[in-house]
């Protein structure tokens, strides 16, 4: 069996789902055993000359070439250790060996500031019997991934991985190497990747924090300063009614500001003690420390030292204002604050400042013709009216205001408003009493004389009716109201309905070649004649009718009819009435051509059928059996005919109808 030998590329991949952080540690590789029990090289031949022997009897002179890389990238190959050992004259080696190789006997150490997650190891074993031409003994190529697992993250900082690689290309030529891998993290970091810090969540007097996936401490809500294990309370000084009124100590304790208490409630409770005297105030306290004034006292900001007083200005509660201490002060014009200032100050007047006298209680009594005591009777008496006595409303001062279309307040607005106009809004003048008087040719004062004077006509003066507004409406067949509809309705035409234009008065004017305006000029102009200018008479519609011996009305019947017995033949004129002869000749020629075509097609079809039958007779003759010794065929008689051929011959002799059904 062939030996499978490979170069060892040991990939130690410490898998982690966390992002790498700055850390430090050391990776160590310690070789334990190497075994080559068959004493053979890579080509399965003995390392030394063993002529005539059935197995290898002498040891190999083994040299190890060790390559340690930081990761698997080609650019980092052997960047940690690139070492070639001395020669070992053994094939079973336990390290540390008695041969005392200073490198193989001790761990290969790799110090890192940041563990990259993988370490590449490549080992080649050579036989050095011939120092100038060393031959490869083992070439380990078995790639594997190794994951390091910590035994107890809370206590250990060392992780060891044991690994054996065996070359099994042939069982009797297998080779083995074993080693340990150890990852050592610096203090405060945990294996296997040395990325995670040691962190245990706490929420007691020692600390108040949780841990991130990488072992960083995260302070709980309300605590700060990771360096002190989050033992300082979160505190920011405030002085507002929403959050609180306090400062902060070094340890985050809240210190209430003056006038506030209860730090556990963020110092949102005011300092308050109930009082009831004229020095400290008159109030009780709420749970929040707010002052509540006792009955009859107001203004908590002044400790309820202000008497309860609401300014009034009515005849029920009084007429007074209040000072800062709640004392009442009578308003101007009122007396006796003991009685809430309900007595008026009154002095009779009858001038521009007022028109009134006074009662025993100081009440004002308006003089005749004046009203509204509250304004010192300065408003005249006025009652809105809209009847025969007047048409007015009243202003706030009692002045009369004439209604729309009425004037002269002195006469109680009994004169209508009228302003003469003569435009689209009306046509009238005004009488002294304001009445409207329509101008000439205009009617209906109620509508501002906007209706025209109109009398229907249907004579030489005009042809129209009148609308409700006096507008003229032309009768049928007439138009132009501004001219009293004396213009006839006329629309120029030049078609089958007429041939005329229109005058300014609507009269029809026949176009050239047309006459009779009463019939819309639909009669052609025609004047009978029999001279060199033409030979025709005229119909009632003006159409020309050629005289005997003449034809072609469109040319004025100037073409002589050669077939007429009354007209001599003329070589210069054309007989236009002979067209029907040419039509008959053409039809006859077309019928003759059709008969000839059908005859040719019929003959051609008969010829093809005869040819087909002849070929079939020949074929049947050839298919008859040879009855003679010399190969002659018997003549075909009626009894020897093939049934299908007999049928076809009969069909050939039939008439045209049977011929058309031949198959």
Check residue 404 and report its DSSP letter.
Answer: T
Report yes or no on 280 lying in a domain.
no
Report yes or no on 321 lying in a domain.
yes
CATH number of the domain to which 361 belongs:
2.10.25.140
Per-residue pLDDT tens digits for 239-294: 888 888 888 887 878 889 888 887 878 788 888 889 899 888 899 988 878 888 98
> Do 218 and 175 fall within a single domain?
no
218 band by pLDDT with thresholds 50, 70 and 90:
very high
Give me the residues paired with residue 276 across strands. 282
Q: How far apart are CA 313 and CA 342, in angstroms?
A: 9
> Do 35 and 164 fall within a single domain?
yes
Contact 318, 340 (CB under 8 A): yes
Q: Which of 320, 344, 368 is the last residue of a domain?
A: 344
Cα 533 to Cα 386, 556, 558, 560: the distances in Å are 94, 7, 7, 13
Report yes or no on 74 lying in a domain.
yes
Helix (H) or strand (E) holding 10, with range, is: strand 8-12
Domain span including residue 336? 312-344
Report yes or no on 191 lying in a domain.
no
Per-residue pLDDT tens digits for 577-614: 556 788 888 899 999 999 999 898 888 888 888 777 77
Per-residue pLDDT tens digits for 320-370: 998 877 888 888 888 888 888 888 778 888 998 889 888 877 788 898 888
CATH number of the domain to which 179 belongs:
2.60.40.3510
pTM score > 0.85 for this model?
A: no
Burial class (CB in 10 A: 0-12, 13-18, 19+), 66: buried
3-state secondary structure of 411: helix
- Token readout for 606 is 């008969």
Average pLDDT, the chain: 76
> CA nearest 550: which of 537, 539, 536?
536
- Strand spans (E) along 359-412: 364-366, 370-371, 379-380, 385-387, 390-394, 400-402, 406-407
- Complete DSSP assignment for 501-565: EE-TTS-EEEPTTEE-GGGTT-EEP---EEETTEEEEE-TTS-EEEPTTEE-GGGTS-EE-TTST
> Do 156 and 87 fall within a single domain?
yes
> Do 160 and 79 fall within a single domain?
yes
- Token readout for 83 is 């070492």
> Do 27 and 105 fall within a single domain?
yes
> Do 27 and 101 fall within a single domain?
yes
Pair type for strands 498-502 and 493-495: antiparallel
Report yes or no on 91 lying in a domain.
yes
> Do 370 and 429 fall within a single domain?
no
Sequence-separated (6 or more) residues with CB below 8 Å from residue 76: 69, 70, 120
> Do 373 and 410 fall within a single domain?
no
Cα 663 to Cα 329, 420, 610, 645, 654: the distances in Å are 142, 115, 13, 12, 14
Q: How far apart are CA 176 and CA 33, in angstroms?
A: 8
> Do 100 and 178 fall within a single domain?
yes
Tally of structural domains, the chain = 6
Distance between alpha carbon 66 and the CA centroid of its chain, in Å? 66
Report yes or no on 30 lying in a domain.
yes
Q: Which of 125, 155, 185 is the last residue of a domain?
A: 185
Query: What's the pLDDT score for residue 161?
Result: 57
> Do 412 and 432 fall within a single domain?
no
Report yes or no on 42 lying in a domain.
yes
Per-residue pLDDT tens digits for 480-521: 877 788 888 888 888 888 898 998 778 888 988 898 877 889
> Do 145 and 35 fall within a single domain?
yes
Report yes or no on 258 lying in a domain.
no
Contact 165, 9 (CB under 8 A): no
> Do 322 and 336 fall within a single domain?
yes
Query: What's the pLDDT score for residue 79?
Result: 78
Res. 567: pLDDT tops 60: no
Give me the residues paired with residue 239 across strands. 245
Q: Which of 127, 159, 185 is the last residue of a domain?
A: 185
Residue with tokens 């009442």: 328
Res. 15: pLDDT tops 50: no
């Amino acid at each position: 069996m062939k030996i499978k030998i490979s170069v060892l590329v040991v990939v130690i991949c410490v898998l982690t789902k966390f992002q790498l952080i700055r850390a430090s540690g050391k990776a160590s590789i310690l070789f334990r055993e190497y075994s080559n029990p068959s004493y053979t090289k890579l080509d399965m031949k003995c390392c030394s000359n063993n002529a005539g022997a059935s197995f290898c009897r002498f040891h190999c002179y083994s040299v190890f070439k060790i390559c340690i890389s930081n990761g698997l990238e080609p650019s980092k190959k052997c960047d940690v250790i690139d070492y070639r050992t001395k020669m070992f004259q053994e094939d079973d080696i336990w390290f540390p060996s008695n041969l005392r190789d200073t490198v193989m006997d001790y761990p290969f150490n790799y110090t890192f500031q940041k563990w990259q997650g993988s370490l590449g190891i490549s080992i080649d074993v050579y036989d050095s019997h011939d120092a100038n031409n060393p031959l490869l003994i083992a070439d380990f190529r078995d790639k594997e991934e190794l994951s390091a697992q910590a035994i107890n993250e809370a206590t250990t900082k060392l992780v060891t991985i044991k690994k054996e690689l065996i070359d099994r290309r042939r069982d009797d030529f297998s080779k083995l190497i074993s080693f340990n891998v150890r990852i050592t993290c610096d203090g405060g970091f945990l294996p296997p990747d040395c990325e995670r810090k040691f962190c245990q969540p706490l929420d007691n007097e020692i600390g108040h924090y949780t841990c991130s996936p990488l072992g960083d401490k995260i302070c709980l809500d309300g605590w700060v300063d990771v360096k002190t294990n989050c033992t300082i309370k979160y505190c920011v000084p405030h002085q507002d009614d929403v959050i609180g009124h306090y400062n902060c100590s070094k340890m985050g304790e809240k210190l209430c500001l003056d006038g506030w208490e209860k730090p556990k409630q963020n110092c949102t409770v005011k300092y308050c003690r109930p009082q009831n005297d004229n020095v400290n105030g008159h109030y009780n306290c709420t749970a929040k420390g707010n002052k509540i004034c006792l009955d009859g006292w107001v203004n908590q900001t002044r400790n309820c030292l202000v008497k309860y007083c609401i300014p009034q200005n009515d005849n029920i509660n009084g007429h007074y204002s209040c000072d800062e201490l709640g004392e009442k002060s009578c308003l101007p014009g009122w007396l006796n604050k003991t009685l809430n200032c309900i007595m008026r100050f009154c002095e009779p007047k009858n001038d521009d400042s007022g028109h009134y006298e006074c009662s025993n209680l100081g009440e004002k009594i308006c003089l005749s013709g004046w009203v509204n005591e509250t304004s010192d009777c300065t408003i005249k008496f006025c009652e809105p009216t809209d009847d025969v006595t007047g048409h007015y409303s009243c202003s706030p001062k009692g002045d009369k205001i004439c209604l729309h279309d009425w004037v002269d307040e002195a006469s109680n607005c009994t004169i209508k408003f009228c302003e003469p106009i003569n435009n689209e809004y009306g046509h009238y003048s005004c009488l002294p009493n304001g009445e409207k008087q329509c101008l000439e040719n205009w009617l209906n004062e109620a509508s501002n004389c906007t209706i025209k004077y109109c009398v229907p006509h249907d004579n030489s003066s005009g042809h129209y009716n009148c609308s409700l507004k006096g507008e003229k409406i032309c009768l049928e067949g007439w138009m132009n109201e501004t001219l009293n509809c004396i213009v006839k309705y006329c629309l120029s035409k030049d078609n089958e309905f007429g041939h005329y234009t229109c005058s300014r008065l609507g009269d029809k004017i026949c176009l050239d070649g047309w006459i009779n305006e009463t019939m819309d000029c639909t009669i052609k102009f025609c004047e009978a004649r029999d001279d060199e200018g033409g030979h025709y008479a005229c119909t009632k519609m003006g159409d020309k009718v050629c005289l005997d011996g003449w034809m072609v009305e469109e040319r004025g019947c100037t073409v002589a009819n050669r077939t007429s017995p009354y007209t001599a033949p003329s070589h210069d004129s054309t007989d236009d009435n002979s067209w029907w002869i040419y039509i008959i000749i053409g039809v006859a020629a077309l019928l003759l051509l059709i008969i000839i075509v059908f005859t040719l097609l019929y003959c051609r079809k008969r010829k093809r059928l005869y040819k087909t039958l002849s070929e079939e007779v020949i074929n049947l003759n050839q298919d008859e059996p040879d009855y003679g010794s010399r190969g002659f065929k018997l003549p075909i008689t009626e009894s020897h005919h093939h049934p299908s051929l007999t049928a076809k011959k009969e069909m050939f002799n039939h008439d045209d109808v049977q011929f058309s059904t031949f198959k």
